[in-house]
Structure 1
Amino acid sequence: MPTIQPLSELRTNTTKIAKLAHSQHEPIFITKNGYADLVVLSAEDYEQRLARLEIYDKLAASQAEVASGQKLLPLDTVFAKYQAQYGQAK
């Protein structure tokens, strides 16, 4: 269930809201006059969400390439590039 706090709580007790954001690892919705106005998220969780979105974008682009019939790289080529960049797979 989402955490919802009024804007007045953010104004008067910013530390409490920050602690909630860090401990819950979920967005905190801030309301103004009873309506959603802001979302508070810890910087770490924000970065993780951005990274996840980047992966989703890359997966969608890859799926579009496959669907369009674009020529794919052989698996051996992909592994060789991976090993050259990151070292031996474990």
Structure 2
Amino acid sequence: MPQIIPIKDLKNTADISELVHAAEEPIYITKNGYGDMVIMSVEMYESTMKRLNMYRELELSEREIESGKIKDARQSLGNLREKSEI
């Protein structure tokens, strides 16, 4: 379950830092009872960005396959072997 804290709690920076590093998910900050910000550790941010980049690369690869820009690796290697007489 996500952790939600009010913005006034951000005054205790040392406590917030401990909370962020101990949490396994982002922490939601509310202002006047409404969602305002999300905070997370640098490690979690970097991990999330790597995952998003991987998904982006997979999506691009799938589009290239669907559009026919990609060739089958086995077939391409076979063609190269035939041309090189290996």
TM over 0.5: yes
- Superposition map of 1:1-90 within 5 A: 1-11=1-11, 13-72=12-71, 74-75=73-74
Gaps of 5+ in 1: 78-90
Q: Deviations over 1:44-72 (max 9, x none)?
A: 10011001100000000000011111132
Q: Using the TM superposition, give the Cα deviation of residue 25 of structure 1 relative to its aligned residue in structure 2, in angstroms.
A: 2.4
Aligned residue-pair number: 76
RMSD: 1.6
Structure 2 residue ranges without an equivalent (≥5)? 78-86
TM-score under structure 1 length normalisation: 0.76
Give the TM-score of the pair, scaled to structure 2: 0.80
Identity %: 43
